Structure formats: structure tokens, C-alpha cells
């Protein structure tokens, strides 16, 4: 059975009138899966279906969702918690925001099913604070679900109680890391914890806790409705299902593209109308800024967990930031590294100090004031920083820097004598959308 190039499922109602409203969600079959899970399935059956579907975490790590749920120790007398990670902040990643704005009830329904699976009666939606309207829509969806009797005491008339709290963060990328998120949710500075113990054993309030990405949880209702076999029609053997790819940068039609896992960047670029006219691809991030950059040598890499790993990078959040040949890779690497320096929580010395010193060296290289040997110094510092912290934030900037040097070493070495803005005049990279050549949907479709 052949599967279409794009498979709108999570995004299928985004173009519908007031898709965020409960009545409109239900008119399209919403909350059918929640009822099925509550009244027709045991917890073990729900976990089995999700395991069988092959659904893997969509927040970057790709851990099998059903397996994560099965790790919750049911003999532990403490309450079990589900925490949904909506702290979308990885540069390039912009899928959860539109999803939650358009269809917050899909997440609420997924939470109901996931909570039943792990026997949790309290869930939290942790949303980054800087997305006000997403928070409004989530607050309303949760309030309306309470009103309808889908949350609270005896949901859907069953004997199952479930509460959801929508919790706003306050501006900290690191809170997307699951243990930092838990500390933040406990009202502390968001700093990662040492593992073990893992959250499944001692998470929120030292109780068994599942932390899942918003897209992972939102993928669950359709799997319950349509079955694992349906989900596996899409994607590849080890990376089953569909996911939302976010294409941004110097392309004609940046945006969200929901496709089966394994689509290639070439196909996505074609759908996105290609690189802006008169220019060509220089490099892209396959899964956000923490994943090693790839170049035009990697157009046919299958964008699934295994394919991207084989190409030396990580599928991550499927965030394809695209840069054309006008862009200085020294400049972008500096900006990314400044981001990590800003967002390093400061707990682990290699990350806190490493990001600081790497920024200083990169600034010198951007300004053409680098010293002979600075590129090796960057690599040396990266080597000292890599894999030495509680979380992977430092590994993210190490990946960013080392991959950029691997593909474009001569540009960094040019920073010993020539400013990046002389080699790559920055005004040439500017691409304001209103100045973008107009291209219609039908033109893309006809290509």
C-alpha cells in the first residue's frame, strides 16, 4: 500500500474553523479515543498498542514512548505523575506551538489516555512562558474539558479521576531538559539532576513520573483510534509513523510539513519551493541547533532516527533550519554558541565555562581577530567539554561547533585575518518575507 508524501493527521484540523474549540474537535471524532481507552482497554493494553505502534519520543531523544510508560513502577505507593513537555525552545523547533494553538484538545485527549496507561491522576502541561496565546488556548481547552466532565472527578462518567494543571515557565531553554523541567515545576531554578534515579522512579516530588513531549502525547489518540498497524503503515521499520517537520530559513515556503518518517530533505525542500531563486543550499540543521549540521551532500538522507544517525547527526526535533551560500558559518556558529552560553544553567563547570570561552574565541574569529591555532583551540575546548555534564546542553554546542568546523574549516581559519562580514556581507543573507518573491500553492504543487 503506497502512502502519500504528506500525511496530515496531527495537523489535519489546523485549517478548520475554530479548531481549538471542544465542540469542533468532537465533531471530527475527538475524545473517541479517550472513551475507548477508559472503557474498553486496560492500562496494559494501552501500553501494548503504543509499544506496538513504534511511537518514539518526538522531543529529540527518540525513546520509545510505550516503553517509557512501562517503566513506571506500579508497586510504588506514591502518586504517579505525567508531565508534558511543551517547553519548545531548541533553535529551529517550531512545531508544538502551532499544534497546541490549533488543536489543544488533541493534547488533552492524549493526556487522558497516557494517564490511564500509567495510572496517574495528576498531569501537568509545562509550557514555555513566552508563547502567551498557546497558554490561553491550553488553559481554555483544559477548562472546557473540566466543564464537560472529561477532567476532574469521575471523568466521562467513569470512576477515574484526573486533574491537569497548565503551568507557564519563565524563560529558560534548559527547562526543556526533563529533569530541569521537574526542578522548575517544583518551584526551583531549572537545573538538571544527576541520573539515576530516573524520573520514572523518582521524578516530580520524588515520585514516579513520565515526561513526554507534546507531539508524542498528541500522537496517541490517533494510534488508539486507528491501531498500531495503521500507524506502522507510515514511516520506516524502526522509525514508524509520521511526524511534523519544520522547514525554515532561505526557502520559498517555510513551514510545517507532516510526513512519514524517512522523507528526505530533498523532498521537503521541493515542497518548500526550494532555496530562494539565484541561491543554493549551504548547510542545514536536521533536528535543531544541537544536532550536527549537514550540507548539500546529505540531501537524500532519510530523515528518520536511523538515517540521520548514519549520516553523523541526530533527527532531534526535525527542525530543518536552512541557510544558503550567502551565510557565514562562523557567524551562525557564534550565534548558536551565544545562545547556549545564555542558556547554560551554570550547574556544571565544563558547560558554564566552556560556552563562555568558546564564545570569546568565536567572536574573535568573526571579527577577523583570531589567532593562529584558534580553530584547534575550539576543538580542544569542545573535547574537554563533551560528555562531562549532567545533561546534554554542552554536547549540543559541541555538536554545533565541531560539525561546522568539519565542513567549513577554512572559513574559521579565515577568521585569523578577515572579518566574516567581509567574506560574507551580512546584508546579502537578509531575507525579509515581504521581499520574498511570491509563490502560490498551485505553483508549488505543479512543480
Residues 271-310 that bind another protein (CB under 8 A): 271-272, 289
Among 38, 49, 82, 101, binds another protein (CB under 8 A): 101
Among 229, 300, 383, 387, binds another protein (CB under 8 A): 229
Residues 123-182 binding another protein (CB under 8 A) are 128-133, 135-137, 139-140, 143, 165-173
Candidates 5-13, 35-43, 69-77, 386-394; binding stretch for another protein (CB under 8 A)? 5-13
Nearer to another protein, 51 or 253 (CB): 253
239 binding another protein? (CB under 8 A) = no
Alpha carbons 9 and 125: distance in angstroms, whole number: 22
Residue 239: φ, ψ to 5°: -120, 80
Candidates 195-203, 208-216, 383-391, 427-435; binding stretch for another protein (CB under 8 A)? 427-435
Length of the chain as a residue count? 447
396 binding another protein? (CB under 8 A) = no
Which x/- pattern over 38-77 shows residues binding another protein (rule: CB under 8 A)? ----------------------------------------
State the minimum distance, in angstroms, from the CB of residue 176 to another protein.
10
State the minimum distance, in angstroms, from the CB of residue 310 to another protein.
25
State the minimum distance, in angstroms, from the CB of residue 246 to another protein.
6
What are the beta bridge partners of residue 85?
Answer: 126, 213
Grouping H, G, I as helix, E, B as strand and the rest as coil, residue 30 is coil
Q: Sheet holding 81-86: strands in order across?
A: 163-168, 122-127, 81-86, 209-213
Q: Which residues contact 300 (CB under 8 A, 6 or more apart)?
A: 264, 265, 266
Nearer to another protein, 70 or 328 (CB): 328
Nearer to another protein, 20 or 265 (CB): 20
Long-range (24+ apart) CB contacts under 8 A made by 359-366 are 359/334, 362/330, 362/333, 362/334, 362/337, 362/401, 363/334, 364/415, 365/330, 365/334, 365/412, 365/415, 365/416, 365/420, 366/328, 366/330, 366/331, 366/334, 366/415, 366/419, 366/420, 366/421
Q: Which of 107, 124, 127 is nearest to 205 (CA)?
A: 124
344 binding another protein? (CB under 8 A) = no
1 binding another protein? (CB under 8 A) = yes
Among 62, 254, 262, 354, binds another protein (CB under 8 A): 254
Nearer to another protein, 200 or 334 (CB): 334
312 binding another protein? (CB under 8 A) = no
Total site size for another protein, rule CB under 8 A: 116
Residue located via cell numbers 531575507:
431
Instruction: Using DSSP bridges, classify how beta strands 255-260 and 242-249 pair: parallel, antiparallel or unpaired.
Output: antiparallel
Measured from the Cβ of residue 357, the count of other Cβ atoms closer than 10 Å reads: 15
Among 356, 387, 409, 425, binds another protein (CB under 8 A): 356
Residue 326: φ, ψ to 5°: -80, -10
Q: Which residues contact 243 (CB under 8 A, 6 or more apart)?
A: 58, 215, 258, 259, 261, 318
Candidates 194-202, 294-302, 330-338, 411-419; binding stretch for another protein (CB under 8 A)? 330-338
Residue 111: φ, ψ to 5°: -65, -45
Nearer to another protein, 70 or 332 (CB): 332
CA angle 64/66/71 to nearest 5° reads 95
Nearer to another protein, 70 or 235 (CB): 235
State the Rg of the chain over Cα: 22
Among 38, 118, 151, 259, binds another protein (CB under 8 A): 259
Candidates 41-49, 60-68, 238-246, 296-304; binding stretch for another protein (CB under 8 A)? 238-246
Candidates 146-154, 328-336, 386-394, 405-413; binding stretch for another protein (CB under 8 A)? 328-336
394 binding another protein? (CB under 8 A) = no
Amino acid at each position: 500500500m503506497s502512502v502519500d508524501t504528506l500525511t496530515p493527521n496531527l495537523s489535519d484540523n489546523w485549517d478548520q474553523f475554530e479548531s481549538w474549540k471542544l465542540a469542533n474537535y468532537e465533531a471530527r471524532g475527538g475524545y473517541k479515543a479517550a472513551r475507548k481507552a477508559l472503557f474498553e482497554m486496560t492500562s496494559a493494553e494501552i501500553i501494548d498498542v503504543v509499544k506496538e505502534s513504534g511511537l518514539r519520543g518526538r522531543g529529540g531523544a527518540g525513546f520509545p514512548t510505550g516503553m517509557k510508560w512501562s517503566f513506571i513502577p506500579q508497586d510504588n505507593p506514591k502518586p504517579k505523575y505525567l508531565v508534558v513537555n511543551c517547553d519548545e525552545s531548541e533553535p529551529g523547533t517550531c512545531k508544538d506551538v502551532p499544534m497546541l494553538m490549533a488543536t489543544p484538545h488533541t493534547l488533552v485527549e492524549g493526556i487522558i489516555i497516557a494517564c490511564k496507561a500509567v495510572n496517574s491522576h495528576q498531569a501537568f502541561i509545562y509550557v514555555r512562558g513566552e508563547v502567551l496565546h498557546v497558554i490561553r488556548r491550553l488553559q481554555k481547552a483544559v477548562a472546557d474539558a473540566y466543564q464537560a466532565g472529561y477532567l476532574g472527578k469521575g471523568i466521562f462518567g467513569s470512576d477515574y479521576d484526573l486533574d491537569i494543571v497548565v503551568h507557564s515557565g519563565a524563560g529558560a531553554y534548559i527547562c526543556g531538559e526533563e529533569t530541569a523541567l521537574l526542578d522548575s515545576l517544583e518551584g526551583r531554578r531549572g537545573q538538571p539532576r544527576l541520573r539515576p534515579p530516573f524520573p520514572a522512579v523518582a521524578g516530580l516530588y520524588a515520585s514516579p513520573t513520565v515526561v513526554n513531549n507534546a507531539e508524542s502525547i498528541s500522537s496517541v489518540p490517533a494510534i488508539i483510534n486507528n491501531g498500531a498497524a495503521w500507524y506502522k503503515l507510515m514511516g520506516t521499520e524502526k522509525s514508524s509513523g509520521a511526524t511534523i517537520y519544520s522547514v525554515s530559513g532561505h526557502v520559498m515556503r517555510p513551514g510545517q510539513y507532516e510526513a512519514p518518517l524517512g522523507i528526505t530533505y530533498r523532498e521537503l525542500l521541493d515542497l518548500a519551493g526550494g532555496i530562494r531563486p539565484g541561491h543554493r543550499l549551504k548547510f542545514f540543521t536536521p533536528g535543531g541547533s544541537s544536532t550536527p549540521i549537514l550540507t548539500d551532500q546529505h540531501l537524500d538522507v532519510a530523515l528518520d532516527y536511523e538515517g540521520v544517525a548514519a549520516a553523523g547527526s541526530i533527527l532531534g526535533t526535525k527542525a530543518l533550519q536552512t541557510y544558503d551560500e550567502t551565510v557565514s558559518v562562523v557567524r551562525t556558529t557564534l550565534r548558536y554558541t551565544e545562545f547556549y552560553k545564555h542558556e547554560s544553567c551554570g550547574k556544571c563547570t565544563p558547560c558554564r565555562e566552556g560556552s563562555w570561552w568558546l564564545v570569546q574565541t568565536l567572536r574573535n574569529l568573526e571579527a577577523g581577530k583570531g589567532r593562529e591555532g584558534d580553530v584547534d583551540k575550539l576543538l580542544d575546548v569542545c573535547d574537554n567539554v563533551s560528555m562531562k555534564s549532567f545533561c546534554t546542553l554542552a554536547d549540543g554546542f559541541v555538536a554545533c561547533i565541531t560539525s561546522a568546523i568539519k565542513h567549513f574549516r577554512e572559513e574559521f581559519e579565515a577568521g585569523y585575518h578577515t572579518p566574516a562580514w567581509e567574506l560574507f556581507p551580512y546584508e546579502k543573507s537578509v531575507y525579509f518575507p515581504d521581499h520574498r518573491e511570491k509563490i502560490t500553492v498551485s505553483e508549488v504543487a505543479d512543480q
